[in-house]
């Protein structure tokens, strides 16, 4: 490697001496000390990987001397120290690597070259569902069902463990990937062969940003980009703007970290931070625990940023000690951060930013977000009016016939619109934070003392992010009170938030559908998009764990808990939320006594070992995977069929038809659902034809290793609305024949297959913020496999745009404030895209209507860097890497 700035230096920590790339060596001409914390990590990454070809002295100088308020459109490379996967996205990653080994063999190359070059750690956390709840044996029963449903996938991952180098899998029923990351996997400072450098990671889950809370730069990428990173390919990006958020003050009585992050999400969404870094600084940082910082960092995808990072300080070290890291490692982190100017103290000079926002922590009020998007914050006192406004809008499409009279659990009760049918303490966002979980336990204890109970129509669940959570709730004597209100530990994994909420009890589900009720879920998660949590639940509110318990007691979102009673106590008196809400001091006192380092050390002692079920899986060692053509979980994807060593180059897009005309805020859940597979859907029919019963369908997320299921599930969300089929909800479209006559309304998959038979390329039209949500590579893979060549939108979310390029699909943006509606496009046109050549920033689109009229408009090409153009010319990043490895 080249070292143009003579930055390689030594650092003594205790009795050991390490090497590192010293940023202060650039201080004279570049004033590195004024750079944001995140830029210092990027700069060190460039110094360490300087090769004189891809990363040159000029590249490093450009970043070191960057004017944050006037950044050049210059691309830089970033090579993460490691890659972290969860199983929904990890299985297709390993499937792709297995397929690449097969393709490498076909191209005459060495299959062993298809191997991770950096540490890759997969945490199996997305497969468990809440089939059972509200009982002591719920955890064991759900784990048993999980293993039975997913044994084929887990066997495949065990194959990957033995076939691939640098690959570890954390077994199921251990915890949520991001919580395992911050509590166990994160290094903060990495050491390799005596060289120290900042820990950094790419993750195949958008909430990888959670690790930003302890100073680790990392963000969510699609599986395609993660595979590139695994195989040593740096990620290319434009120098990012950095939006600073200056925090002052401290949280007021009654406000939680959840309330804070919902406020931050709303504020930053309004500012617009897509493809930007967000960095938190200011005196208020010192008033936030590491767990609170992790909560804020976790939701960077919800506010749209690439990352939401905090610096390293004493609180970071306290967290590392608490979670069982050695004193030797803690000393190394401190010494390195101080040497590099990455250490934060309240009196440290403030960095320069592209823009600065201000937030007084004392202004935070109790909040929820919903009923359909995480950025739509609603104050607790305004929830009733928020629900009623949303309910009125629902009535225009599907009038309620409620209430319904239900007999269930030995009781007869009315089930009304607004009823909370799911109350879930779940997700990485909050179950990593002891203050809100202890708060939930204390609220349950006080509620129980007054004789309050959970309503019989509420499905309750507690899915901690790690085993340590259960241990400290037990130690605090609070688990029994949560259990008394129905919140038994039901799983260790990402459950309700990903759509693994499991079935509603049959009488409840029947009443909802028979009476077209608009019912609610309240969850301590980070995602509440349409159709995600449960397909029968139309209103979904994000809330802190204490509020989840409160709403399970109230049983409805048609209530103002700041002024109306939550229920009646054992003496028949009204009880209000303020009567059972624990004080900040109460919470902190219990946290200090109950959350100890020993609990974390014990919980992670044998984290890679797994239970008897995991250990019982036997695999035959082999370099290439033995595909089973009958498998409905794992299939060899068709990306490399017919591939040669010559890249196809930029191909013209002519005579294209439109598959869908979509609106604003189309999420990756709309494009590629993760939850329930409907029996009468194309994916459901495919499974039934292969002898899979409805009870064994599992979920779209669990079947991401089978492209046949996932193609059929693309655009299959039950709430998606295609303007080509007005008044019809769900993943449907119309096939338009050669004569221009639109056919009947059919599933999008069926329409796409008809176009494929005609060799007709497809496009998709959409509005603003296309591809928000999870870093779901299948949203791009499915789009490609349906035959879509280009997606034209008003704006893209960062990860999905990158994923489209990575799959060889052209991302385009309307210009000059135009959109499909303003241009009069209804999806019946024939589209030609002119002027598409490497490096172009704009193309002309001609849309020819049935009467011969042509709508002509410009579109911006969103292939952002020269490296992305290379990927696109090769037909995608996987093909690019395979050719590189085969040539080598």
Q: Give the CATH number of the domain where residue 190 resides.
A: 3.30.499.10
Residue 514 burial class via C-beta count within 10 angstroms: exposed 0-12, middle 13-18, buried 19 and up? exposed
Whether residues 354 and 244 fall in one domain? yes
Reply yes or no on whether the pLDDT at 1 is more than 80: no
Neighbours of 416 (CB within 10 A): 18
d(CA 147, CA 152): 9
Decide if 610 is inside a domain. Answer: no
Q: What is the mean pLDDT of residues 550-567?
A: 98
Decide if 52 is inside a domain. Answer: yes
User: pLDDT tens-digit profile of 182-218?
Assistant: 999 999 999 999 999 999 999 999 999 999 999 999 9
pLDDT the model gives residue 604: 95
Reply yes or no on whether the pLDDT at 876 is more than 90: yes
Decide if 687 is inside a domain. Answer: no
Reply yes or no on whether the pLDDT at 441 is more than 80: yes
pLDDT the model gives residue 644: 93
pLDDT the model gives residue 548: 98
Asked if 154 and 172 count as a contact pair (C-beta separation under 8 A), the reply is yes
Decide if 625 is inside a domain. Answer: no
SS3 readout for 481-515: HHHHCCCCECCCCCCHHHCCCCCCCHHHHHHHHHC
d(CA 494, CA 86): 10
User: pLDDT tens-digit profile of 347-372?
Assistant: 999 999 999 999 999 999 999 999 99
User: pLDDT tens-digit profile of 720-778?
Assistant: 999 999 999 999 999 999 888 899 999 999 999 999 999 999 999 999 999 998 878 99
Q: How many Å separate Cα 518 from the centre of its chain?
A: 27
Neighbours of 75 (CB within 10 A): 15
Whether residues 477 and 353 fall in one domain? no
- Residue at a domain's end among 181, 216, 238: 238
pLDDT the model gives residue 888: 79
pTM of the model: 0.90
Asked if 820 and 794 count as a contact pair (C-beta separation under 8 A), the reply is no
Domain count of the chain? Answer: 5
pLDDT the model gives residue 469: 96
- Residue at a domain's end among 319, 341, 365: 365
Asked if 515 and 400 count as a contact pair (C-beta separation under 8 A), the reply is yes
CA dihedral for 393, 397, 401, 402, sign (positive or negative)? negative
Mean per-residue pLDDT of the chain: 95
Whether residues 15 and 146 fall in one domain? no
pLDDT the model gives residue 529: 86
- Residue at a domain's end among 197, 215, 238: 238
Give Cα separations from 166 to 18, 99, 160, 161, 678 (angstroms): 23, 18, 10, 9, 38
Share of the chain above pLDDT 90, in %: 91
pLDDT the model gives residue 676: 86
User: pLDDT tens-digit profile of 495-535?
Assistant: 998 889 999 999 999 999 999 999 999 999 998 988 889 98
Region of residue 773 (left: phi > 0; alpha: psi -120 to 50; beta: else): left
pLDDT the model gives residue 490: 97
The residue segments making up the domain with residue 227 are 67-238
Whether residues 244 and 222 fall in one domain? no
Whether residues 110 and 218 fall in one domain? yes
Q: Which run of H or E residues covers position 552?
A: helix 545-554
Reply yes or no on whether the pLDDT at 467 is more than 90: yes
pLDDT the model gives residue 648: 96
User: pLDDT tens-digit profile of 469-504?
Assistant: 999 999 999 999 999 999 999 999 999 988 899 999
Q: Give the CATH number of the domain where residue 660 resides.
A: 3.20.19.10
Q: How many Å separate Cα 94 from the centre of its chain?
A: 19
Decide if 409 is inside a domain. Answer: yes
Whether residues 81 and 55 fall in one domain? no
User: pLDDT tens-digit profile of 13-40?
Assistant: 999 999 999 999 999 899 999 999 999 9
Q: How confident is the model at residue 234 (pLDDT cuts 50, 70, 90)?
A: very high
Give Cα separations from 591 to 442, 467, 817 (angstroms): 11, 16, 51
d(CA 543, CA 130): 19
User: pLDDT tens-digit profile of 137-182?
Assistant: 999 999 999 999 999 999 999 999 999 999 999 999 999 999 999 9
Cis peptide before 882 (omega within 30 of 0): no
Decide if 512 is inside a domain. Answer: yes
SS3 readout for 65-80: CCCCCCCCCCEEEECC
Decide if 693 is inside a domain. Answer: no
Whether residues 15 and 73 fall in one domain? no
Whether residues 90 and 192 fall in one domain? yes
Decide if 452 is inside a domain. Answer: yes
Region of residue 792 (left: phi > 0; alpha: psi -120 to 50; beta: else): beta
d(CA 689, CA 683): 10
pLDDT the model gives residue 543: 97
Query: Which residues, including other chains, have CB under 8 Å from residue 394's CB and lie 6 or more apart?
Result: 400, 518, 538
Whether residues 821 and 871 fall in one domain? yes
**Long-range Cβ pairs for the range 29-35 (8 Å, 24+):** 29/64, 29/65, 30/61, 30/64, 30/65, 32/64, 32/341, 33/341, 33/349, 34/349, 34/351, 34/352, 35/64, 35/66, 35/351, 35/352
pLDDT the model gives residue 53: 87
Q: Give the CATH number of the domain where residue 251 resides.
A: 3.40.1060.10
Reply yes or no on whether the pLDDT at 12 is more than 90: yes
pLDDT the model gives residue 351: 97
Give Cα separations from 533 to 77, 85, 284, 410, 440 (angstroms): 37, 22, 34, 27, 21
Share of the chain above pLDDT 70, in %: 100
Whether residues 826 and 776 fall in one domain? yes
Reply yes or no on whether the pLDDT at 223 is more than 90: no
Q: What is the mean pLDDT of residues 809-814?
A: 98
d(CA 748, CA 751): 5
pLDDT the model gives residue 775: 74
Supply φ then ψ for residue 568, to 5 degrees: -110, 135
User: pLDDT tens-digit profile of 583-612?
Assistant: 999 999 999 999 999 999 999 999 998 889
Whether residues 334 and 347 fall in one domain? yes
Whether residues 136 and 171 fall in one domain? yes
């Amino acid at each position: 490697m080249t070292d143009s700035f003579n930055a390689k230096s030594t650092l003594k920590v205790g009795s050991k001496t390490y090497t590192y790339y010293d940023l202060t060596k650039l201080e004279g001409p570049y004033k590195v000390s004024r750079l944001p914390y995140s830029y210092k990590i990027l700069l060190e990454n460039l110094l360490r990987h300087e090769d004189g070809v891809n990363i040159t002295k000029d590249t490093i100088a450009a970043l070191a001397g960057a004017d944050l308020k006037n950044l050049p459109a210059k691309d830089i490379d970033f090579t993460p120290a490691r890659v972290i996967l969860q199983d929904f996205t990890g299985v297709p990653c390993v499937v792709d690597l297995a397929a690449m080994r097969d393709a490498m063999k076909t191209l005459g190359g060495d299959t062993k070259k298809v191997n991770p070059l950096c540490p890759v750690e997969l945490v199996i956390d997305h497969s468990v569902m809440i089939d059972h709840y509200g009982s002591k044996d719920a955890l064991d029963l759900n784990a048993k069902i999980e293993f039975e449903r997913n044994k084929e996938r887990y066997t495949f991952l065990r194959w990957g463990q033995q076939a691939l180098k640098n690959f570890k899998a954390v077994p199921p029923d251990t915890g949520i990937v991001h919580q395992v990351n911050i509590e166990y996997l994160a290094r903060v400072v990495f050491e390799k062969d005596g060289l120290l450098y900042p820990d950094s990671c790419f993750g195949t889950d958008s909430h990888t940003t959670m690790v930003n809370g302890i100073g680790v730069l990392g963000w969510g990428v699609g599986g395609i980009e993660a595979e590139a990173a695994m195989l040593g390919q740096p990620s290319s990006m434009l120098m990012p703007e950095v939006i600073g958020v200056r925090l002052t003050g401290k949280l007021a009585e009654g406000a939680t970290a959840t309330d804070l992050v919902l406020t931050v999400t709303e504020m930053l969404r309004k500012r617009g931070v897509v493809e930007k870094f967000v960095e938190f600084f200011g005196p208020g940082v010192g008033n936030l625990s590491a767990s609170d910082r992790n909560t804020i960092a976790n939701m960077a995808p919800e506010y749209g940023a690439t990352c939401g990072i905090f610096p390293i300080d004493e609180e970071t070290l306290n967290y590392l000690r608490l979670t069982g890291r050695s004193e030797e490692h803690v000393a190394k982190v401190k010494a390195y951060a101080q040497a590099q100017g990455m250490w934060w103290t309240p009196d440290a000079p403030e960095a320069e930013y592209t823009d600065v926002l201000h937030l007084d922590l004392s202004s935070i009020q109790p909040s929820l977000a919903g009923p359909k998007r995480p950025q739509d914050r609603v104050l607790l006192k305004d929830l009733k009016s928020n629900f009623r406004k949303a309910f009125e809008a629902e009535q225009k499409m599907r009038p309620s016939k409620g209430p319904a009279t239900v007999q269930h659990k030995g009781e007869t009760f009315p089930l009304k619109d607004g009823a909370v049918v799911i109350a879930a303490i779940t997700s990485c966002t909050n179950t990593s934070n002891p203050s809100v979980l202890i708060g939930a336990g204390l609220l349950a204890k006080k509620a129980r003392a007054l004789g309050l109970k959970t309503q019989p129509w509420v499905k309750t669940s507690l899915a901690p992010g790690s085993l340590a959570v259960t241990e400290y709730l037990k130690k605090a004597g609070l688990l029994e009170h949560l259990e008394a209100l129905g919140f038994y530990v039901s799983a260790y994994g990402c459950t309700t938030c990903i759509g693994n909420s499991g079935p509603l009890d049959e009488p409840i589900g029947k009443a909802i559908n028979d009476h077209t009720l608009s019912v609610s879920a309240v969850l301590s998660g980070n995602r509440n998009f349409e159709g995600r949590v449960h397909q029968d639940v139309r209103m979904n509110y994000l809330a802190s764990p204490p509020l989840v318990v409160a709403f399970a007691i109230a049983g409805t979102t048609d209530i103002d808990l700041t002024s109306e009673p939550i229920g009646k106590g054992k003496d028949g008196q009204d009880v209000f939320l303020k009567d059972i809400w624990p004080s900040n001091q109460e919470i902190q006192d219990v946290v200090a006594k109950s959350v100890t380092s020993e609990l974390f050390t014990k919980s992670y002692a044998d984290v890679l070992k797994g239970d008897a079920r995991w250990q019982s899986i036997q695999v035959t060692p082999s370099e290439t995977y033995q595909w089973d053509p009958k498998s409905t979980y794992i299939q060899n994807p068709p990306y490399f069929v017919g591939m040669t060593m010559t890249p196809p180059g930029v191909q013209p897009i002519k005579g294209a038809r439109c598959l869908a005309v979509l609106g604003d805020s189309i999420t990756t859940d709309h494009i590629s659902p993760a939850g329930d597979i409907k029996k009468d859907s194309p994916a459901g029919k495919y499974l039934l034809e292969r002898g899979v019963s409805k009870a064994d369908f599992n979920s779209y997320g669990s079947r991401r290793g089978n492209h046949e299921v996932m193609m059929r599930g693309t655009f299959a969300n039950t709430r998606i609305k295609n303007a080509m089929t007005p008044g019809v909800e769900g993943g449907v479209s119309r096939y338009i024949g050669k004569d221009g006559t639109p056919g009947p309304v059919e599933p999008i998959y069926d329409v796409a297959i008809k176009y494929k038979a005609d060799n007709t390329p497809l496009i998709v039209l959409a509005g603003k913020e296309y591809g928000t949500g999870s870093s779901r590579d299948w949203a791009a893979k499915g789009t490609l496999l349906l035959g879509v060549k280009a997606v034209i939108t008003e704006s893209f979310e960062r990860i999905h745009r990158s994923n489209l390029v990575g799959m060889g699909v052209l991302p385009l943006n309307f210009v000059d404030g135009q959109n499909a509606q303003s241009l009069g496009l209804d999806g019946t046109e024939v589209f030609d895209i002119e002027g598409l050549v490497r490096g172009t920033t704009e193309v002309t689109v001609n849309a020819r209507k049935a009467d011969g009229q042509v709508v002509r408009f410009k579109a911006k090409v969103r292939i952002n860097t020269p490296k992305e153009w290379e990927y696109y010319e090769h037909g995608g990043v996987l093909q690019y890497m395979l050719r590189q490895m085969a040539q080598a």
